[in-house]
């Protein structure tokens, strides 16, 4: 009993509830379908286990499945790491450089952010991922990125099995018109399959092929996005902060030079800071090695400046000059607007010509703000805020008393 109780941590069983969410259900279903169909297709119809190549192929399929699930569950259950409740820096004077979180009743350590879904301040938060129903942050960033690499590799192998299974089984039944394609079928004809390749088997294989190809493309793109920020020792949120820093400096013409503090100057050093042989990333999640031109609070000071700038800019009104239907990636708003859409779960807001918006932040191609609503909606607590293309609005060059009154009434 003592041995079993040492293995089972009953206080952590509540984490199993993370599986009861549409994200993990869909992700695990895709993994199960692709892995099961790949094994069935290869063993029964394409590569039997009584051949050396078939045995190696079978072991590789099992290896992909185990590695994918290992990194997936670690990303989910290890979690990102949370700032202790009520945390404050050792030196009380340093609190002037930090933001205070009223929900966690403590200060936000450098690189940490409060996640509204996890309801905690997360160490080195990158984003909240619905597919693992958890945040991606300091402790699980390597596991999450490894999963993003292994899933496309495993799905590519499975897709190859699906294509070859359908080709070999339908080779003599259907004329593909591939007169110039010659594939050696002698090895396939040496054995008789355990069962015929029926219509249901073909439909299941074709469905699994679609899942495998879709996963390879979608998850592969996410992997390259993650590696792009990891090799610069950033997170997705910090990339936004850097963009806003450049926008703030350009807007006010301050002449400042913003240096991102956590880039160690080498992609290899940045890579090793996240990926380690032990699986545990370097650092305690509260203090970080920084650039020689920076200190521990360089980024948090910039965040405070942006927060103050947000309060100032929220009084600047923009008027919609183009209609916008609220699409995440609008095709009719320009090539760069389409491809530079914000990679965030924050909503988009539709616009009609003449509507007024209080913009609070933005990038070169997109802006984020609050749409000015009617007095009745304002009293009811209605707040319409989100992203919209920058080309759809123009800055209002007037400041009336009515506008000031509306801004003062804006709900915080």
Residues 69 and 162 in one domain: yes
Residues 367-374 have a mean pLDDT of 86
Distance separating alpha carbons of residues 374 and 401, to the nearest angstrom: 16
Q: Please state the rounded mean pLDDT for residues 196-212.
A: 91
The set of residues, in sequence order, having a beta carbon less than 8 Å from that of 320 and lying 6+ positions away, is: 351, 352, 353, 354, 355, 356, 357, 392, 393
**Residues 6 or more apart whose Cβ sits within 8 Å of residue 377:** none
147 and 16 within one domain: yes
**Calculated CA dihedral for residues 337, 331, 234, 147, nearest 10 degrees:** -170
Residues 58 and 178 in one domain: yes
Question: Are 223 and 332 found together in one domain?
Answer: no
Q: Which of 230, 263, 283 represents a domain boundary (last residue)?
A: 230
Same structural domain for residues 325 and 214? Answer: no
pLDDT higher than threshold 60 for residue 5: no
How many Å is the Cα radius of gyration of the chain?
Answer: 27
Q: CATH number for the domain including 395?
A: 2.30.30.40
For the stretch 308-337, pLDDT in tens is: 887 776 667 899 999 999 998 898 898 889
Is residue 368 in some structural domain?
yes
Lowest mean pLDDT among 77-91, 144-158, 283-297, 334-348: 334-348
215 and 323 together in one domain:
no
Structure confidence by residue, pLDDT tens digits, 242-282: 988 988 898 888 888 899 999 998 999 999 999 998 888 98
Residue 128 lies in a domain: no
Evaluate whether residue 301 is within a structural domain.
Answer: no
CB 152 within 8 A of CB 215: yes
The reply to whether the predicted model has a pTM over 0.85 is no
Q: What is the mean pLDDT of residues 24-49?
A: 92
Asked whether residue 237 is domain-assigned, the answer is: no
User: Could you read off the pLDDT of 57-79 as tens digits, one per residue?
Assistant: 999 999 999 999 999 999 999 99
Report whether pLDDT(116) > 90. no
Q: What is the pLDDT of residues 227-250, one digit of tens each?
A: 999 999 999 999 989 988 988 898
In a domain, 109, yes or no: no
Task: Give the range of the structural domain holding residue 395, as residue numbers without chain letter.
Answer: 314-409
Domain end position, chosen among 213, 230, 247: 230
Looking at residue 308, what is its pLDDT? 87
Work out the number of other CB atoms within 10 angstroms of the CB of residue 290: 19
How many domains in the chain? 2
On whether both 61 and 165 belong to a single domain, the answer is yes
| Active site members | 129
Q: Is residue 164 part of a domain?
A: yes
Confirm whether 225 is domain-assigned.
yes
Last residue of a domain, one of 212, 230, 248: 230
The span from the CA of 357 to the CA of 318, in Å, is 5
pLDDT, residue 217, reads 96
Residue 190: per-residue pLDDT:
53
The answer to whether 403 and 367 are in contact (CB under 8 A) is no
């Amino acid at each position: 009993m003592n041995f079993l109780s040492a293995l089972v941590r009953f206080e952590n069983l509540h984490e199993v509830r993370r599986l009861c969410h549409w994200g993990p259900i869909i992700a695990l279903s895709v993994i199960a379908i692709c892995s099961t169909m790949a094994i069935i297709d290869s063993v029964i119809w394409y590569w039997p286990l009584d051949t050396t190549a078939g045995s190696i192929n079978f072991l590789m399929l099992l290896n992909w499945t185990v590695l994918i699930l290992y990194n997936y569950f670690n990303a989910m259950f290890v979690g990102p790491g949370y700032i202790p409740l009520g945390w404050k820096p050792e030196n009380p004077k340093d609190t002037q450089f930090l933001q205070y979180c009223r929900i966690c009743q403590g200060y936000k350590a450098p690189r940490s952010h409060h996640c509204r879904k996890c309801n905690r301040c997360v160490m080195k938060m990158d984003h909240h991922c619905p597919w693992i129903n958890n945040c991606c942050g300091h402790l699980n960033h390597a596991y999450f990125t490894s999963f993003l690499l292994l899933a496309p590799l495993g799905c590519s192998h499975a897709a190859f099995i699906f294509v070859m299974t359908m080709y070999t089984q339908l080779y003599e039944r259907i004329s593909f018109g591939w007169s110039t394609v010659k594939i050696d079928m002698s090895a396939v004809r040496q054995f008789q399959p355990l069962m015929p390749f029926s219509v249901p088997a073909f439909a299941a294989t074709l469905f699994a092929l679609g899942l495998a190809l879709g996963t390879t493309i979608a998850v592969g793109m996410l992997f390259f996005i993650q590696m792009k920020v990891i090799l610069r020792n950033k997170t997705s949120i910090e990339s936004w902060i850097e963009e806003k820093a450049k926008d703030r400096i350009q807007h006010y013409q301050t002449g400042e030079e913003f240096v991102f503090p956590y880039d160690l100057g080498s992609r290899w050093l940045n890579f090793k800071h996240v990926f380690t042989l032990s699986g545990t990333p370097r650092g305690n999640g509260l203090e970080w090695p920084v650039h020689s031109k920076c200190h521990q609070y360089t980024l948090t000071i910039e965040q405070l400046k942006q927060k103050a700038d947000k309060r100032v800019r929220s009084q600047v009104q923009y008027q919609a000059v183009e209609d916008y239907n609220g699409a995440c990636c609008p095709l009719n708003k320009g090539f760069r607007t389409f491809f530079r859409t914000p990679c965030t779960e924050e909503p988009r807001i539709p616009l009609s010509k003449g509507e007024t918006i209080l913009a609070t932040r933005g990038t070169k191609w997109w802006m984020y703000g609050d749409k000015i609503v009617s007095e009745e909606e304002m009293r009811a607590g209605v707040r319409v805020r989100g992203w919209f293309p920058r080309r759809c609005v123009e800055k209002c060059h007037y400041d009336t008393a009515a506008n000031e009154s509306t801004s003062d009434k804006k709900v915080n």
